[in-house]
Amino acid sequence: MKKIVITGVAGFLGSHLAKELLAKKNKVIGLDNFSTGKKHNLISFLSNPDFTFIEIDVSMEKVIGLEDLKDIDEIYHLASPASPTFYQKSPFDTIAVNTIGTKNMLDIAKRDNAKLVYLSTSEVYGDPEIHPQHEDYKGCVNTWGPRACYDEGKRLGEVFCYLYYHLFNLKIKVARIFNTYSAGLRNDDGRVISNFVTQALKGENITVYGDGTQTRSFCYVDDTIEALMLMMENDNANGEIINIGNSEEISVLNLANLIQKLTNSSSLITFHPLPKDDPKQRCPNTNKAKQILGWEPKINLKEGLLKTIKAYRIKLGFEC
């Protein structure tokens, strides 16, 4: 039985990951400060005897000395707001958790010789000039804008991982996650799929920012979680940065149309100002994930959206 730490366990990805790792009979210690996560996300496994929850800000150094965090085998470091709405509301906390928080987790990994997967993001590519984005692309990030706290925070988090890998020869891996979704996203999360599906089901206007020609590539949560666990297992991923995402690219306007159609919604599509520095095009090159992990996403956008819409209907009380 492995002893595994998940930071950000009360969040969207953290809670899905905890469920999977507990189902595989691991001992999971989840850390979260509930800044964007919800207690509700923990309910289905909170009473599992193999799960321990600790409410703490992982940017605080005292996290390293916690009694329960001894003899750790694996660490998944997910703690960080991910929605632009939330990370822009608390920019200093976003920088802290991705830099000092990452260093704290790396110090635990070093002490216990534990493996560590750090959740970085496609945002490290900023507003990319090459498509699709492969891991060697250095990115085009604006340091003087509202997204910088997240983008540069994550980039510095990667630097900490690089240093601990090279200086201390630890089993460190960096996953650059591209937009992941499912009904696990909060309705008020602000990210596009949760906004559009919630709006379409409630009959509210579907709010497209800009003219909707910007693109994203969406990966269903089950695929992302599978990739993260494969990364942890695979020693060939040590010291590697790997894109995790689905290369099925779609414009935001086409996404709005698709969700309107799949929900049979009478909602109108309305246009609103494009947020500053909103990336124009984003699509992962996933060759490295395929090569090293033998991983490819299995769930296409339409299938994933149908699952998401079905679950949101229940969540919003439109269906039992």
Q: Which residues bind ligand UDP (CB under 6 A)?
A: 84, 179, 191-192, 195, 207-209, 214, 216, 252, 275, 278
Query: Which lies closer to ligand UDP via its Cβ, residue 79 or residue 200?
Result: 200
Query: Which lies closer to ligand NAD via its Cβ, residue 150 or residue 164?
Result: 150
Please report whether residue 57 would count as binding ligand NAD according to CB under 6 A: yes
Beta-sheet pairing, 215-217 with 172-177: unpaired
The site partner of 271 among ligand UDP, ligand NAD, none (C-beta below 5 to 8 Å per kind) is none
The site partner of 84 among ligand NAD, ligand UDP, none (C-beta below 5 to 8 Å per kind) is ligand UDP
| Residue 32, beta-bridge partner list | 55
**Among residues 104, 121, 195, 214, the one that binds ligand NAD under rule CB under 6 A:** 121
Cα distance between residue 268 and residue 207, in whole Å:
9
Segment lying near ligand NAD (by CB under 6 A), choices 73-81, 199-207, 266-274, 303-311: 73-81
**Among residues 99, 133, 180, 286, the one that binds ligand NAD under rule CB under 6 A:** 180
Cα distance between residue 84 and residue 71, in whole Å:
35
Please report whether residue 119 would count as binding ligand NAD according to CB under 6 A: yes
Query: Which lies closer to ligand NAD via its Cβ, residue 121 or residue 195?
Result: 121
| Residue 290, beta-bridge partner list | none
**Catalytic residue of the set 87, 118, 150, 220:** 150
Query: Which lies closer to ligand UDP via its Cβ, residue 114 or residue 283?
Result: 283
The site partner of 252 among ligand UDP, ligand NAD, none (C-beta below 5 to 8 Å per kind) is ligand UDP
Beta-sheet pairing, 27-32 with 115-121: unpaired
Q: For every residue of 223-249, which 3-state class applies, written as one string?
A: HHHHHHHHHHHCHHHCCCEEEECCCCE
CB of 312 to ligand UDP, least distance (A): 15
**Rg, C-alpha atoms of the chain:** 19
Beta-sheet pairing, 206-209 with 269-272: parallel
Query: Which lies closer to ligand NAD via its Cβ, residue 117 or residue 265?
Result: 117
Assess whether 118 carries a catalytic annotation: no
CB of 123 to ligand UDP, least distance (A): 6
Are 227 and 237 a contacting pair, CB within 8 Å?
Answer: no
Cα distance between residue 312 and residue 307, in whole Å:
9
Helices (H), the chain: 12-23, 84-89, 91-112, 148-168, 192-202, 221-233, 252-262, 287-293, 301-315
Please report whether residue 34 would count as binding ligand NAD according to CB under 6 A: yes
Query: Which lies closer to ligand NAD via its Cβ, residue 37 or residue 132?
Result: 37
Cα distance between residue 301 and residue 191, in whole Å:
16
Cα distance between residue 13 and residue 41, in whole Å:
10
Please report whether residue 82 would count as binding ligand NAD according to CB under 6 A: yes
* Residues in contact with ligand NAD by the rule CB under 6 A: 7-8, 10-14, 31-37, 57-59, 78-82, 97, 101, 119, 121, 177, 179-180
Known catalytic residues are: 150
